[in-house]
Structure 1
Amino acid sequence: MVAYQKNLMNMFVILLMVSYLTFGYVSLSTGGNDCMQYRMIEKLTYLENENSKLMDRISRLEQQMQPVVSVYVRLSKTVNLKLHERVMYDMEITNIGGAFNFKTGQLTAPVSGIYFISVSACLSHAQYSNLDIIKDGLKIGVVRSGDVEWVDCSSASLSTHFNYEDNIWIESGTPSNDGSKLYEGRGWNTFTATLIHVD
């Protein structure tokens, strides 16, 4: 939209210049007076100045515009996880900005900045598991869930800096039952990410 407005204004100024040159030529060739030419130049100069001001305003607005990243995804069913297996969330609640990729099960940062991350996990009874929050291969957080008798839900939240195209995903960590179940029925297994500040 901004680019379209720029092009429209540039075309408007070009049209005015063509009109001026056309009218100026006619005026000179038919013995027109200098006053008409002066008024045309004056108007053209004014419009060029106004166009320049509008272009500056658009540039400032573009600098103020920030990309929006708001991700809230979950599992739609109970999932068995092997050790170090990635959690493949399959239900989108919110994915504004399209930063979360369901095929890879990870978020890729579209811009550098500070992101808020939150993960919740629910395990079936007699299960225990760590879910690791992984940023490009480095563990930066963990959700510990498990209980002998009950379905147990836990969560973890953090804020961290991402560079452009850094990746984050969730996987089963140690210690965990091999074949731990992320249980759907008593709570939601979710992943949330929000961009809170752009560099």
Structure 2
Amino acid sequence: MKNHVYQPRSAYPIAFYARLSNDITTIGDNQAIEYNEVITNLGHGYDSRHGHFIAPIDGIYIFAVTAMGEPNEALHLNIVKNGAIVGYARAALSTEYESGTAVITLSLVAGDMVWVRYGSSIGSASRKVHGGGFNTFSGALLATL
């Protein structure tokens, strides 16, 4: 049995935090959300033009997504790694503003991409994503591989 040795973080930090600042964004099925207000982008892994995080180095990363929809409409978001759904963030149907948060850890190699996209408009799901900083996407390197 191989002994696992903790690998320290990289010599430079990798972390980002971005949020959607627009009032309301209407989005299509499977469309990436372009979180346009970048607060933190250490290591320059987050690309706000496309809404993608691109891993600059191999490692274990943690990501958090908060979804907020409009009143009377549910919101379904997918967390995607290289085209495959790896997590979900949902805002429940309610007469008020509702939000949901997902936190996931992923093993990534340099060049892997992670993003958030609109899931679908099945049932009562909305195509409206509430802005004002309430929809967020963040991530950080936990350890190198």
1:142 aligns with 2:142: no
How many corresponding residue pairs?
136
| Deviation of 1:180 (Å) | 2.0
2:101 maps to which residue? 155
Compare CA radii of gyration and give the structure with the larger one.
1
Supply the distance in 2 between the matched residues of 1:129 and 1:178 (Cα, whole angstroms): 5
Gaps of 5+ in 2: 1-8
Q: Which letter maps to 2:102?
A: A
Is the alpha carbon distance of 1:118 and 1:65 closer, same or farther for their aligned partners in structure 2, counting shifts above 3 Å?
closer
Q: Which letter maps to 1:128?
A: A
Is the alpha carbon distance of 1:65 and 1:92 closer, same or farther for their aligned partners in structure 2, counting shifts above 3 Å?
closer
RCO comparison, higher one (Cα < 8 Å, 6+): 2
Is the alpha carbon distance of 1:116 and 1:65 closer, same or farther for their aligned partners in structure 2, counting shifts above 3 Å?
closer
1:88 maps to which residue? 34
Supply the distance in 1 between the matched residues of 2:82 and 2:96 (Cα, whole angstroms): 34
Supply the distance in 2 between the matched residues of 1:158 and 1:114 (Cα, whole angstroms): 10
1:114 maps to which residue? 60
Moved more, 176-185 or 80-89: 176-185
Gaps of 5+ in 1: 1-63
Identity of matched residues, % = 25
Q: Which letter maps to 1:66?
A: A
Q: Where does 1:6-25 land on structure 2 (aligned, <5 Å)?
A: none
1:171 aligns with 2:133: no
More strand by share: 2
- Equivalent pair of 2:74/2:126 in contact (CA under 8 Å): no
Supply the distance in 2 between the matched residues of 1:126 and 1:65 (Cα, whole angstroms): 45
More helix by share: 1
Supply the distance in 2 between the matched residues of 1:84 and 1:198 (Cα, whole angstroms): 31
| Deviation of 1:65 (Å) | 5.4
Q: TM-score, normalised by structure 1?
A: 0.63
Cα root mean square deviation, aligned: 2.0
Aligned match for 1:75, one of 3, 20, 26: 20
1:98 aligns with 2:69: no
Q: TM-score, normalised by structure 2?
A: 0.86
Supply the distance in 2 between the matched residues of 1:65 and 1:152 (Cα, whole angstroms): 37
2:76 maps to which residue? 130
1:195 aligns with 2:141: yes
- Equivalent pair of 2:70/2:97 in contact (CA under 8 Å): yes
Aligned match for 2:128, one of 170, 176, 181: 181
